[in-house]
Amino acid sequence: MLKFLNCQRCGKEYETENRFSMYCSEHCRNYETRICLVCGKEFEGKIISNKKTCSKECSKILRERTTLNKYGVKNIAQNETVKQIIQDKRKEQMPEIINKMKQTLELKKNSRDKVTN
Ligand SMILES: [Zn+2]
Ligand SMILES: [Zn+2]
């Protein structure tokens, strides 16, 4: 039996046979209204995505802002000092990573020994 329901998202009235139906269309089911983090405009974002901006331009600005916060420059690749900082950080983390790898290997070896004994 057909029923008239109001879409939970856009409010439009629509006909459906499914009385548990909530949305008028696939679009309303898959998208939600979000506020752009950059310009504050409302936009439709796919529910499964984590899009935070309304357009390519805004997402570029957001990315630049994030980089700016982290490294103090807009574009990492353009800045030699930042490149250096990142490389240094990686080097700092290297011994830690190697240690972890060693530990994992050790653990594996131990458990293998136990099995053979
Ligand atoms: Zn709708
Ligand atoms: Zn925007």
Is there a single domain that holds both residue 48 and residue 6? Answer: yes
Residues with CB under 5 A from ligand 1 (ion): 7, 9-10, 12, 24, 28
Cα–Cα distance for residue pair 106/112, rounded to 1 Å: 10
Rounded average pLDDT over 38-67:
93
Cα–Cα distance for residue pair 31/47, rounded to 1 Å: 5
Cα–Cα distance for residue pair 74/62, rounded to 1 Å: 10
Domain total of the chain = 2
Confidence at residue 117, expressed as pLDDT on a 0 to 100 scale: 58
CA 27 / ligand 1 centre spacing (Å): 7
Whole-number percent of the chain with pLDDT over 90: 50
Confidence at residue 56, expressed as pLDDT on a 0 to 100 scale: 95
pLDDT tens digit string along 71-83?
787 776 667 777 7
Q: Which ligand is nearest to the CA of 42?
A: 2
Is there a single domain that holds both residue 54 and residue 101? Answer: no
Is there a single domain that holds both residue 10 and residue 60? Answer: yes
* Residue range of the domain that includes 115: 79-117
Is there a single domain that holds both residue 54 and residue 109? Answer: no
Is there a single domain that holds both residue 22 and residue 62? Answer: yes
- DSSP H helical segments within 1-117, as ranges? 26-30, 56-71, 80-116
Is this structure's pTM higher than 0.75?
no
